[in-house]
Amino acid sequence: MPELPEVEVVRRSLERIFQQEPVVEKIIWHRPDLRFPLPLQIFKKWKKVRILSVKRRAKYLLIESDCGSLVCHLGMTGNFRISEMNSPRKPHDHVEFWLASGQVLLFADPRRFGFFLSWPGDWAQVTRELLGFEPLSEEWSGSLLKQGVKGRKAPIKTVLMDQKVVVGIGNIYASEILFRARVRPTRSAMRVSLRECEQIVEITREVLNAAIQQGGSSIRDFKSPGHGEGNFQTSHLVYDRDKKTCVVCATPIRRTVLSGRSTFWCPRCQT
């Protein structure tokens, strides 16, 4: 489900929810085994906790409270929604945040690749060391991407999805970005020129920002509490369009598997 735009849309939704009602009365969980075990210590401790902020780094959400912080990752199918105390739960509702307003923020995740962590230390510090550049930050640039691809024999698409190089770009947006940049996803990353890296950086920002504006891409099941479904899937030019005609040149779009992930590209537009 969630790449950077979707996670950012969720972040904004959660921010709005907690601005309206910052107090979490308690947390209820229905199973402790998401991708990683839930931080039950924290969950038990969180009674009458005030949420101070919801931040995003890469595809991680950081929920900060006056009683410590939670890191949340949505995995593939993780999602939040607002519900009422007495309204029926669904099969994959794993965590409930009971708000002082009487509403309940539910976290559901059918595939359970998502997780919550409590992070005692400085999360920003950790992510600085382990993760690459934020694509929407001022500091990222074509020359930095060029440094990132230096000596990388792997396909440019794989490197673009490498969270140590640049964060937040997942399988959908990697194909979409490279199509718009006219760079073939299979090309060895080291063979992408500085000029092309600059192009990729610029287009990455355009695509991710547009996707955020559109509320993300809702294929399958992505939804955000308060924002609902996104619309950016209607702007997909190559993703999931195998054998359909390229919107630019009418050549059939091709599907290739790279690092085990479906990849879509136009054999004529992209070199």
Partner DNA sequence: CGTATTCCCTGCACGC
Partner DNA sequence: TGCGTGCAGGGAATAC
**Residues lying near DNA in the complex (CB under 7 A):** 1-3, 6, 35, 58-59, 73, 75-76, 91-92, 110-113, 151-155, 158-159, 161, 163, 170-172, 189, 216-222, 257, 259-262
For DNA, the closer of residues 96 and 162 by Cβ is 162
For DNA, the closer of residues 98 and 115 by Cβ is 115
Q: Is 59 helix (H, G, I), strand (E, B) or coil?
A: coil
CA distances from 144 to 6, 37, 57, 84, 131 (A): 25, 36, 19, 47, 14
Q: Please, what is the angle between helix 194-213 and helix 171-180, to 10°?
A: 120
Give me the least distance between CB of 104 and DNA, in Å please: 21
For DNA, the closer of residues 251 and 259 by Cβ is 259
Q: Is 243 a catalytic residue?
A: no
Give me the least distance between CB of 6 and DNA, in Å please: 5
Q: Is 150 a catalytic residue?
A: no
The label of the residue with tokens 């059939």 reads 252
Q: Is 261 a catalytic residue?
A: yes
Strands of the chain (E only): list them: 23-29, 49-57, 60-65, 68-73, 79-84, 93-99, 103-108, 115-118, 254-258, 261-265
Token digits of residue 86: 């007495």
Give me the least distance between CB of 98 and DNA, in Å please: 24
Q: Is 3 a catalytic residue?
A: yes
Is residue 247 a contact partner of residue 105, using CB atoms and an 8 Å limit? no
Q: Please, what is the angle between helix 194-213 and helix 142-149, to 10°?
A: 110
For DNA, the closer of residues 26 and 261 by Cβ is 261
Of the residues 11, 56, 57, 59, only one is catalytic, namely: 59
Of the residues 3, 6, 96, 176, only one is catalytic, namely: 3
Q: Catalytic positions, please?
A: 2-3, 59, 261
